Structure 1
């Protein structure tokens, strides 16, 4: 077997189909953990607002506003491009469902990885939209963690998807 066809130690030679790293439970735990990490931390005049997929947590006064109330009932307080917040949540929720499907061997890791990257990119737009407000400093914590989780656990699958030969 010559050097060009020898499988690599990480199984990324294409013959493995780009299997993701870790066990399905570990991948699901990593994706689920993104729900409890603030996706964006917004500093406003020395106070913090934490943006989670399930709501906003203000520190002064301590107040939790769930996402449904913020988007539907209140109808305000959202940055420019307000559709990016529910879009990033939707991408994340489908990625979480896809990662959960791995427990019964039904996950397409390329879908999970792609959705995590899309959720992160969409939420970067949310953080950027907050940056246009005076004295708002957004730090896109989770928006950077989502592509990091996709890279760590699903890079072989992403590489197989992105670098797959195009049929002629």
Structure 2
């Protein structure tokens, strides 16, 4: 389970583009990768110092929920994880991430595809389904 939750942090959480350039920006839990004008990467902390975008707060909240899900899943190594908590945190991270993508994408000449939301929700559903199947009755 821990590996699947960690892998959610490697998937681009959203692919964002501007109509005038068509070049995508990849937003991850940890930061972003831009291809314009040259390939560059910035951490989430760098974005905090550079921008006052209202999308930063929900981005941080989504990342925080994911990090808490990582912590919860890591408790599984000691057989102390509650999969409902891990799954719930992943669902929250996905929902907040979807709101970031939506708020970016509704602006004129912009699009955003929330790939991370799909990954987070898929892992949450997989883990929750496994828990409901395997729990003692």
Does the TM-score normalized on the shorter chain lie above 0.5?
A: yes
**Residue of structure 2 in register with 1:54 after alignment:** 30
2:94 match: 120
- Render the CA deviation track for 1:125-154: whole Å, top value 9, x for unaligned: 000110132221100001111011111122
Question: Offset at 1:82?
Answer: 3.6
The answer as to whether partners of 2:105 and 2:111 remain within 8 angstroms in 1 is yes
Distance in 1 between residues matched to 2:33 and 2:108, nearest whole Å: 20
CA distance in 1, matches of 2:97, 2:83: 21
- 2 CA distance for matches of 1:147 and 1:118? 9
Q: In the comparison of the two structures, how many residue pairs are matched?
A: 130
Question: SS of 2:41's equivalent?
Answer: strand
The 5 A counterparts of 1:132-151 are: 132-151=106-125
**Which structure's residues are more often helix, by fraction?**
2
Q: CA 1:47/1:148 → structure 2, altered by over 3 Å: closer, same or farther?
A: same
SS of the equivalent of 1:150 reads: helix
* C-alpha separation in 1, matches of 2:113 and 2:5: 20
The alignment's TM-score, normalised by the length of structure 2, stands at 0.88
Q: What's 2:129 paired with?
A: 155
CA contact (8 A) 2:83 2:127 kept: no
Within the candidate set 35, 45, 61, 1:87 is matched to: 61
TM-score normalised by length of structure 1 = 0.72
Give unmatched runs, 5+ long, in structure 1. Answer: 1-26, 160-168
Structure 2 stretches lacking a partner, 5+ long: none
